[in-house]
Structure 1
Amino acid sequence: MMMMRGMTRSMRAAGLAMLFFLVACDWPLEVPAQVELVAPADGASMSLLPVVFSWQPGDDVAGYRLQLSANSGYTAVVADTSVSGTSVALAVTTDGTYYWRVRAMSSDSVWGSWSESRKVILRRFTIATTLSLPGYSHDIAIQSGRAYVAAGQAGLAVLDVLNPETPALLGQFMDSLNEAWGVAVRDSCAYLAYGYTELIVVDVRRPDSLRAFGELGYLQPGYGYDVAVSDTLVYVAAGAQFVRTNVADPRFPGLSFQYSYPRNCRGVVVEGSRGFVACEQLGVAGWRLDANPPVQVGSMDTPANARGLALLGDRLFIADGRGGLIVAEASDPAAITALGSLELNGYAQAVAVQDTLAFVACGSGGFAVVNVARPEQPRLAARLATPYAAAVAVDGRYVFGCDRDLGLVVIRME
């Protein structure tokens, strides 16, 4: 009491305020313990989506935050999600190496420290094997367990790919004066877009003794780059020409239609009455093939150089050089309409499609796998590095690519 009497009124007021503050304050809030990760294990390789991340539950925890990053410094975060449970499933879009971590939040909204960081590898597409081939490969077709490769100056190479991971060269056909650029196969015949000869028909019934038994050089010389077959008709993208040939008797191909373009015709795809020609700087031309003669009814310009084409139902897929991959609506060749596109590393020059995946040969950019389930928003699913990817085909679980340095490249879909 003597001490209180000796204090000034202001000192007493300050002391009471401090007392009330100490009484009102709670003890410091508890910080959640560091989360213990469960799965995937550090360095695990995954091939199925979605990837499920899980961890041990903590005490008095209201929720968790998971980060997934493309680098170990977490400066390239691809997923940052909060959940109340102890697991989360993420549909990671692109193959590669990722890092993940988790932290807990208490019921008082206090965040704990991050867990350890773990690495996880998403690998749905793997180069299973390669096989060196003669020449520079430009195109590839698959039929009944065999691969047919247009191998440039080395001509046509036929390979056994019945077991795709152990391919074997069966035979070779070569015209030393020309260069094989495109190949299509029907029954026992391989049709080659063969440079200045433009079209050569090769009997492939005996791969160990391949022989040409039909060819066509046109009245106005062109240069055969790509070829497509429909029933008894063969269509050739031949430089400054688009050509149709009747091969009812493949020993005697007969020219039935010829159209001149001011630019290079580099790719062709046909289905029923529809035809599409990739014309580099001129983009893509749409044709009605049931007209007599066939007639170009539409076109679509592209940002770069249209080189390769694939058709799946009403969707046209365009390998557009530096423009990457373009997906277009093409139910009517008179009204080709771009739906979406995706820039890709390298130079997109060939494309093949199966279900919701497009496979693109991108020159020095290797092979790209693109998810096209939503055509207006194509997404990169994987990139496989090779020296110079030139062509691609797909058959079931395997993708068969041509690389000018490696030869045949077999990619396995896990």
Structure 2
Amino acid sequence: EALDKLFPGLGDSPMGETLTIPETARGTSPLVSIGSWPFGSARATAADEDRQLLFYGMGGVVRTLDISDPANPTVVTDDLHTGGLVQELCYDGANQHLLVAAGRGGLEIWDVANPAAPTRLSVTEVIYAGVEAPAVDVDLSDGIAYVAADFGLVHIFDISNPAAPVDLGITGVPDCKHVVIHEPYLYATGHDFGRFEILGPGDIRHLSQESNIAINASVGEVVGARAYVVKNGDILILDLTSAFFPVIGSYSLSGYSFTDLQAQGLDLYAGDAGDGFLVLNLSSPTSPSMIGSYAASGARTVQIVGVRAYTTWAQSADIVDISDPTLPSQIGENIAPASSAYDAEAQDGLVYVADSSKGFFVLDASDPASPFAIGNTTIPGLPLDVTIDGSYAFVASQFEGLQVVDVSDPTNPVVVGSHATPDYARGVDVVGNLAYVADLTGGLLIYDVTDPTDPIEIGSLGLPQGADRVTVENGIAYCATGSDGLRIVDVSDPTLPALLGGLGSTDFTVDSALHGDYLLQANFGGGMRVVDVSNPTHPLQVATFDPPGIIAWGISVHGDIAFLSSASNELFALDVSDPTNPVLLDSRETVGDAFQSFPDGGRTFVADGSAGVAIYQYLQPASTDEGDPVSIGASGVVLRMEGHAALFQLPQRETTLGIYDARGRSVLRESGQQTVRFDPGRSGVYFWKASGDSDGTQTGRVVIVR
């Protein structure tokens, strides 16, 4: 019954009958990903020189660029969405497959033979000691993928059948960050720097006494008998001819902190996240000399292909001519749409996004499966919170205070007003013609925004620990005040705000949401707490929800359902119909850092940090009593099993079917009167939803066993 409160009717059949599905299991409702705008920081590239394509990872998406005219790279598609943040790419040109090290999303393999329509062939979790380890780098040799998995060492997968990779074992070094193959050796960089002999496909051994212990490097490259590794931003040079690979030299340059290395011949390209890259000549292996440099906003990663270097930094991918390595020069670039979505608010099919690096975006999410940006503008400072009121967006921008954006034309948002705050503006709420701003040192600030182009400060109240977020209702402001927990302020006279009460916290309180006489608070180190504020002068904590490892960052409420977002990459849905006893309904691992969520129109929009915006819906599976397959109502979906496949018979042209994996990621979407065959090629639990223009919605789940 608690689940029915979320988005009523979502689990109902068209005629109120029960759906019977073969080979299914009864269970709770899934929080399902139905769409995303997953753009974030640029991080990795891989090139197909023959087809003049550049694959460019940014957040939870890999953009495909046509670089046949490198001065004007054009987008082929942004449809390659990953289940984790893109960490590294490896291109298999022989098979036209793209391998993606997707962090907690594991190893993904994509068929990019048709670059405009990439197809995911497989997703493989990287498991070490029973725990999911992040895939942070990948290299390929003879049909074998070597995946650096941080604390999970190096995992070896046979991908001769890319739809079903086979785990061959584990080798490598602790805290492995980087792998590179120089036949017949695999070099792994992390806590140690190790060399491993590849005896045959997947047959590998660690050569005796051939590792540098506790070097704690982040990336490595090998040229001849020397290895070059980055440690704390400097380059160390290791002798590969001596036991334990001793350090025999180093290279550093004032102002540079190196993050990536790639060699071509005797030239080593050393990228810096904030200062472009250097070209170092290795004619004297222990004393590299700088022969060229590329000045840019940054080159966090560098890939060399022929006479071009492809670099990424937070904002873009650059194409650099290195035909003369002494004079590298930019010939093209492609800007990442977003970098770090910190807050989002949805209204009437539009999503308004505060991006702490790239400003303010407006997304069209009328089709939640395919949201797209229709407008954006630069906002001074670091936008951290957004509230929509009428035709205006009110943005709290760190360092630059309150910013007012005219969104009457969502394709052309314009900053029309602003007012500085004492320090870090972090939260904003608007009631009537008043804007309430939470400032990290200024506390609570109140502005008259009758004229949005000219906000006027009319009142303020200093708070010892400042304020992170504020929510206002019935003349009372509830301030999340970090280590001070909660401060409740009487703002019935906005010119003279007065402290009513408060409640300390052993954790760091960062956000609040009202639910009747109760305030739900997100605590950075302690999940969610529920506070009875029926007497605002004496608030009382009545309940908590604090699962291990949570880093609660945002809280929102829809009806009796609370959505708790965690920067530890999770979204929780809780039944708070009895606020003194919150009950977990479901949780979902997010691609990025789930900073904030905003429920609207039966959906929840998550500001997912470096993975942009994620859109979720709560699906309530129908009953799954065993029996023969049946249809629901006069024109319902018929489901039957055929071998390892599920066949969905869609009854009419208006029917749309969506299928989602156990992580809530969309894996299939079809429409129209047809029979849809679903065979994912691997065992698993999958959730489905079918809807029509007038015949309601059917939902369920199916277990595929192979």
**Fold conserved between structures, TM > 0.5:** yes
- The match for 2:485 among 272, 276, 283 is 283
Contact kept? 2:465, 2:483, Cα under 8 Å = yes
Matched, 1:136 2:340: yes
**What's the counterpart of residue 336 of structure 1?**
539
Alignment of 1:83-162 (within 5 A): 121-133=27-39, 134-162=338-366
Contact 2:399 2:423 in 1 (8 A): yes
Change (3 A) 1:42 1:337: farther
Partner of 1:273: 475
Q: Whole-Å Cα distance in 1 between the matches of residues 577 and 23 of structure 2? A: 29
CA distances 1:185-213 after superposition (whole Å, capped 9, x unpaired): 10000000011111010000112221111
Q: Distance in 1 between matches of 2:25 and 2:37?
A: 26
The offset of 1:329, in angstroms, is 1.4
Q: Please give the alpha-carbon distance, in whole angstroms, between the structure 2 residues aligned to 1:279 and 1:228.
A: 15
1:123 CA displacement: 3.3
SS at match of 1:384: strand
Task: Give aligned pairs, total.
Answer: 299
Q: Would you say the 8 A contact 2:352–2:360 is kept in 1?
A: yes
Give the C-alpha shift of residue 45 in structure 1: 5.4
Are 1:188 and 2:406 an aligned pair?
Answer: no
Structure 1 residue 140 displacement after superposition: 1.2
Aligned to 1:390: 595
AA of the residue aligned to 2:588: L
> 8 Å contact 1:45–1:122 — kept in the other structure?
no
Give SS of 1:369's match. Answer: strand
For the residues of structure 2 that align with 1:311 and 1:43, how far apart are their CA atoms? 42
Tell me, which stretches of 5 or more residues in structure 2 are unaligned? 1-18, 40-337, 620-706
Q: Partner amino acid for 1:340?
A: A
Distance 1:40 1:305 in 2: 47
Select which of 424, 441, 446 maps to 1:223. 424
Q: Secondary structure at the match of 1:170?
A: strand
1:44 to 24, 34, 39: 24
- The residue identity in structure 2 corresponding to 1:284 is L
Within 1, Cα distance between the matches of 2:358 and 2:498?
35
Distance 2:523 2:20 in 1: 39
Identity across matched positions, percent: 24
Match of 2:433 in 1: 232
Distance in 1 (alpha carbons) for counterparts of 2:492 and 2:538: 17
| Maintained 8 Å contact 1:275/1:333 | no
Quote the Cα distance in structure 1 between the aligned partners of 2:595 and 2:456: 30
Larger radius of gyration: 1
d(CA) in 1 for partners of 2:513, 2:345: 13
Q: Distance in 2 between matches of 1:402 and 1:132?
A: 10
Distance 1:331 1:383 in 2: 29
Q: Distance in 1 between matches of 2:603 and 2:351?
A: 12
Q: CA deviation at 1:258?
A: 2.1
TM-score (norm 1): 0.69
Read off the aligned partner of 1:227 and give its amino acid letter: V
- Which residue is 2:460 aligned to? 258
Which of the pair has the greater relative contact order for Cα pairs under 8 Å at 6+ separation? 2
Question: CA–CA distance in 2 between the matches of 1:208 and 1:144?
Answer: 14
What amino acid does structure 2 have at the position aligned with 1:233?
Answer: L
User: Is the CA contact (8 Å cut-off) linking 2:511 and 2:523 kept in structure 1?
Assistant: yes
Structure 1 residue 295: deviation in Å?
0.6
Q: Is the 8 A contact 1:357 1:369 kept in 2?
A: yes
Whether the aligned pair in 1 keeps the contact of 2:28 and 2:585 (CA below 8 Å) is no
Say what the alpha-carbon RMSD is for the aligned residues: 1.8
Structure 2: distance between partners of 1:141 and 1:363: 18
- Whether the 8 Å CA contact 1:276–1:333 is kept in 2: the answer is no
Residues 42/346 of structure 1: CA separation in 2 closer, same or farther (3 Å cut): farther
Please, which of 496, 501, 526 is the counterpart of residue 298 of structure 1?
501
- Per-residue deviation, 1:303: 2.9
Shift of 1:41: 6.6
String of CA shifts for 1:164-193, please: whole Å, max 9, x gaps. 232221111113x51100100100000000
| Structure number with higher helix proportion | 1
1:12-31 deviation per Cα after TM superposition (whole angstroms, max 9, x unaligned)? xxxxxxxxxxxxxxxxxxxx
| Residue of structure 2 equivalent to 1:411 | 616
SS at match of 2:550: coil
Deviations 1:358-397 (A, max 9, x none): 0011111411111112211112111100131111000132
Is the CA contact 2:398–2:424 (under 8 Å) kept in the aligned structure 1?
Answer: yes
1:45 and 1:139, CA in 2 relative to 1: closer, same or farther beyond 3 A? farther
* C-alpha contact 1:181 1:226 (8 A) present in aligned 2: yes
Post-superposition CA distance 1:258-301 (Å, at most 9, x none): 22223241111001211100011000000111034011110011
Contact 1:193 1:200 in 2 (8 A): yes
SS at structure 2 position matched to 1:290:
coil
For 1:362 and 1:42, the matched residues in 2 are separated by 36
Structure 1 residue 350 corresponds to structure 2 residue 541:
no
Q: Is the 8 A contact 2:341 2:611 kept in 1?
A: no
CA contact (8 A) 1:303 1:320 kept: no
1:333, distance to aligned residue in structure 2 (A): 2.3
**1:117-157 deviations in whole A, cap 9, x for unaligned?**
xxxx4333211121124021111112222111111121111
What residue ranges of structure 1 are gaps of 5+ in the alignment? 1-38, 47-120
Shift of 1:40: 7.9
Is 1:402 aligned to 2:604, yes or no? no
Kindly provide the amino acid, as one letter, of the partner of residue 328 in structure 1.
V
